[in-house]
Amino acid sequence: MKRLSFTIVALCAIILVSCHPNRSKELTQIQQYEDSLLHNAAQVIIDTNMGNQTVALYLQFANDFPNDSLTPGFIYKAADISFNMGKYPAALDYFNRIIDNYAEYSDLGTCYLMVGETYNCMSQYEQAKEAYQQFIELFPDHPLAKDIRYQLEHNMVGMSPEEMLSVVMENAAVEDAVL
């Protein structure tokens, strides 16, 4: 009877250990996928399967270890990959997850900026303008705040890069003529 009890306790312990999230194992998996993504970084298009799997690993880590110092960075990477794969609603969710839960994240300003960029890519220009305005108000000293302010002042939200360049060139010509 003692032997059966010991066997049952041992099996329960093994099951509990195997079901418990393993930080180091998850970090190793993340590193392997990141290495694979970076190895293929010369490709213009992200391999959808690899991107999806990497995002899933980042989010699994974030869910398993929400208070870990690496978590907001991993959520940001998940948002970045999703954004670059054109999965804008998912990217928006991830950027907002950081904003809502990790106020001390070192790249919080960039998350606010990327909310605007994501809305812009989704052709939701009013939401993009609101997000950009919030970014400028909260992070006026961010390296990109001046550029975003310029875009808002010259109604450039929703323009293609070519259209934006044209506006910049026209404004530069006007400024040169005034001087």
Q: What is the mean pLDDT of the chain?
A: 83
Entry pTM: 0.76
Q: Report yes or no on 42 lying in a domain.
A: yes
Q: Report yes or no on 178 lying in a domain.
A: no
Query: Residue 17: its pLDDT value, please?
Result: 45
Q: Report yes or no on 179 lying in a domain.
A: no
Query: Residue 167: its pLDDT value, please?
Result: 81
pLDDT at 136 over 80: yes
Q: Report yes or no on 163 lying in a domain.
A: no
Residue found by looking up tokens 């960075």 in the block: 73
Phi first, then psi, for residue 125 (nearest 5°) are -70, -35
pLDDT digits (tens, 9 = 90+) for 12-66: 444 444 455 677 777 777 777 666 665 555 554 567 888 899 999 999 999 999 9
Q: Report yes or no on 36 lying in a domain.
A: yes
Residue found by looking up tokens 């070519």 in the block: 162
Residues 6+ apart with CB under 8 A from 58: 30, 74, 75, 77, 78
Q: Report yes or no on 156 lying in a domain.
A: no
Domain that holds residue 37: 19-106
Q: Count up the domains in the chain and report the number.
A: 1
Q: Report yes or no on 55 lying in a domain.
A: yes
